[in-house]
Amino acid sequence: MRGLLRWGGVAIAIAGLALALLTYFVAPIGTSFVAKTLCSGIFVSGRDRNEVHRQDVLADNNPLLPFISYAIDDALRTVEARFLGLRLRATQFREGAGCAVTYGLPVAPTAAPRARRSAKGRTGGLCRAQSRGL
């Protein structure tokens, strides 16, 4: 009986360690995937959020994805995802740039991007390597 209790305690400790490692190392990947996929599907492609979640996120058949919750802010055009309430990842849509993971940076209201100036003062355009077809 004593040996059974000892092995039971060891099994519980290993399961706890596995859950901790999963939450620390694997969960940020999953939450980033969910937030980025939803952000791109909703704000870039203009699709319905439930359709994107069902067809793009859950279709991946990963057993951990149902444990990832998300919140969508239409005003700021952001998506936040959490694994079991932990390991937050957020993405933000910016006009002309698409969606990007913000990695905990404060979310600023989106604005239209400004045209970049090249070394010769022209706006936008290709760099030299791109203009030569390289």
Closest Cα to residue 57, out of 39, 37, 79, 86?
A: 37
Q: What letter represents residue 72's amino acid? A: I
Domain boundaries, the chain: 2-131
Phi/psi of residue 33, nearest 5 degrees: -60, -50
What was the pLDDT predicted at 29?
Answer: 84
Q: Which two tokens stand for residue 3?
A: 């040996």
State the pTM of this model.
Answer: 0.65
Token representation of residue 116: 């970049």
- pLDDT one-digit tens code per residue, 21-32: 766 777 788 888
Q: Is the pLDDT of residue 39 over 90?
A: yes
pLDDT digits (tens, 9 = 90+) for 86-112: 778 889 998 888 888 887 666 666 554
Tell me: the pLDDT tens digits for 56-77? 888 877 777 888 899 999 888 9
In the predicted structure, residue 10 carries a pLDDT above the cut 70? yes
User: Mean of the per-residue pLDDT values for the chain?
Assistant: 76
pLDDT of residue 1 exceeding 90? no
pLDDT at 105: 64
Question: Which tokens sit at 11?
Answer: 């099994």
Task: Output the six-digit token pair for 132.
Answer: 């030569």
Residue 31 · residue 68 · CB < 8 Å: yes
Count of other CB atoms within 10 angstroms of residue 72: 18
- State mean pLDDT over 114-122: 48
Band of residue 8 on the pLDDT scale cut at 50, 70, 90:
confident
